[in-house]
Structure 1
């Protein structure tokens, strides 16, 4: 089994007050699943944290086609809790699964997976939500719609709209999985030169050091003028998977 290290940290609400994280990391015998919950467009007692928690409970076996497995998990959750498509909380989904011969990746919404191979670095990312921001309001009206963006909610069909990639296992050296509270350090803030720099920090200081650096930068921009964002601190989740050569 690869070496797996993780780091998680709760953010704050829009009011700036602490609240429980809505991110989740699930480590399975053959996979790592990372989820980032989002509250329903019409908030009720079931928020994004509720959704990510319960979806994680459904993702305990990943032995078939990843999109099929995710679709089945979404369907089971929707039936068990009477969730309505278009009016329920949701979660991003990032999955990295390995076999003796392959490393398979699935990404649904904005939680990227970065794969380090002997040939370079490949970012498996779903940019559909990012590409719509600033152009379509309200953004939730375009959730799980043609021409919009896709996320795990109550419609199993969304799973088959995920971005996917597969790599020969012998070529993969490491994988980083991040929610947007971490990927912002590369994509938005420019705190790290690239994803290689992030991997290097996790090797030298551990994954929590990456979260520390992002939090320190955000604390220095508490009025959110340098980097426009909804909250001073978002939830953070980072998983690092290191593969041994030839195993």
Structure 2
């Protein structure tokens, strides 16, 4: 079992008021799941955090029952089951990102759906870093194609848009995936966009620096760096964003602890 360190922090709503986090982290014997419930586009829909919690629980049950099952198949079945159990319809349902990391004796697998990346450190054909990210949503935003709620609804789970866990199990087949040899991976990070924004938009640090911060101060140090920057931009002028602070969830999975019994991320090179 690798060493696993987790940091989570609730953000605020679009009105600036405190509210419970909509991020969910589940640790299994051979996997970590991280989901980020999206703010619901309609006031009559259940919150994204409610949906993310249900989907995380169903994914966990599916992987416990079939630890070797294909990750996309488990995700598709979980989406279908949650939708059927709660009467959710495609196009009119809450949604969630999904990041999954699973390790087995010979390999490590990652699956990413929407904007919660998995970052692996190790030896990958000459590269020491492999970022598994789904950039379809951010690309549409940057291109100005998600200006209104109608734009988001039209492009959600559509071929010319982005893919996210909602009520259409077909979205699972659109996930970004990666597989590495087990002995090639030293450390993996999983992050919701409340953390990855520090790399992708604020440019406070890159992923190796995020790992260094986590090694020296624990994963909360990475969350602190993002929150400190946001507090210095309270009116959201330097970094325009819907919320002053988004929910944050960050997971460090240290595989070197398995081989070295070194006590966790403090022992990383």
Give the TM-score taking structure 2 as reference length. 0.89
Residue 243 of structure 2 is matched in structure 1 by 231
Shift of 1:39: 3.3
Q: Which of 121, 126, 135 is residue 127 of structure 1 equivalent to?
A: 135
Unaligned runs of 5+ in 2: 260-269
The reply on whether 1:172 has 2:182 as its aligned counterpart is no
Q: How does 1:91-102 map to 2 (within 5 A)?
A: 91-102=96-107
SS at match of 1:181: helix
Separation (CA, whole Å) in 2 of partners of 1:230 and 1:140: 17
Structure 1 runs (4+) greater than 6 angstroms displaced: none
- Aligned 8 A contact 2:45 2:93 in 1: no
The reply on whether 1:33 has 2:33 as its aligned counterpart is yes
Give the TM-score taking structure 1 as reference length. 0.97
SS at match of 1:215: helix
- Aligned 8 A contact 1:39 1:88 in 2: no
- Aligned 8 A contact 1:179 1:237 in 2: yes
Separation (CA, whole Å) in 1 of partners of 2:224 and 2:20: 18
Q: Which of 110, 115, 122 is residue 110 of structure 1 equivalent to?
A: 115
Residue 244 of structure 1 is matched in structure 2 by 256
Unaligned runs of 5+ in 1: none
C-alpha root-mean-square deviation of aligned residues, in Å? 1.2
- Aligned 8 A contact 1:132 1:139 in 2: no
Separation (CA, whole Å) in 1 of partners of 2:191 and 2:50: 19
Q: Count how many residue pairs are aligned between Structure 1 and Structure 2.
A: 246
Deviations along 1:182-232, one digit per CA (max 9) or x if unpaired, are 00111110111x101100111111000110111011011000000010010
Q: How does 1:146-225 map to 2 (within 5 A)?
A: 146-192=159-205, 194-225=206-237
Higher helix share goes to which structure?
2
Shift of 1:147: 1.1
